[in-house]
Chains A and B, each alone.
Chain A
Amino acid sequence: KQEVTQIPAALSVPEGENLVLNCSFTDSAIYNLQWFRQDPGKGLTSLLLIQSSQREQTSGRLNASLDKSSGRSTLYIAASQPGDSATYLCAVSGGYNKLIFGAGTRLAVHP
């Protein structure tokens, strides 16, 4: 059974730091991996999708990498801002594109 783990569970940093959030999964038979952002009490916003054949994707200050063989992904956030404060979730996609989620990393960026 697929299991997704995110480390760290929580992170508090000063504005301007570069950050790395980690995600690992146990079964490499995935269609893709998605990173989401969730603000308190809200739904999920898709940040990046990496197909299983890809190594990385970039969007603005965000870069996500995927090493399928080792079951790892990282989300890199450059020059963090207070507006980046949120919970970040990674999810892997299997049959019927069902998503299996990690527990998330709660990020706080303080001015």
Chain B
Amino acid sequence: DVKVTQSSRYLVKRTGEKVFLECVQDMDHENMFWYRQDPGLGLRLIYFSYDVKMKEKGDIPEGYSVSREKKERFSLILESASTNQTSMYLCASSSSGGGLSEAFFGQGTRLTVV
């Protein structure tokens, strides 16, 4: 079974803290993605990576950064957490196979910033 694993299901952090969300995939996929999901706004792409050490901004990168030092691991970093970053964060991975490429998602991390 293919698997994308996020390090935490639930996190509570304080305003101003540096927060790390970790994602690991076991499918040898080239592409990895971080989305956030909010009621009424749907899923929005924060950052993605198409190779080790490569990263590209998505639609809402402000306040976030990412790291991909190994192919299987993609980290999302909140440099200084704010209450408006309270959200559900979803990691995904896919191969680089164009039309054949199916995306697989982790179980999500519900982050609350207080």
Contact = CB atoms under 8 A, between A and B. Distances in A.
Interface of A: 31-32, 34, 36, 41-46, 49, 51-53, 89, 91, 93, 96-99, 101-104
Contacts, number: 68
A96 B31 contact: yes
| Interface residues of B, dominant DSSP | strand
Interface residues of B, number: 29
Contacts of A34: 102-103
A91 B92 CA distance: 13
B11 to A, nearest CB: 14
Nearest to A104: B42
B96 interface: yes
A46 B101 CA distance: 12
A45 B45 CA distance: 18
Given A96-B48, A97-B96, A46 B43 contact: no
Given A97-B31, A97-B94, A99-B33, A41 B110 contact: yes
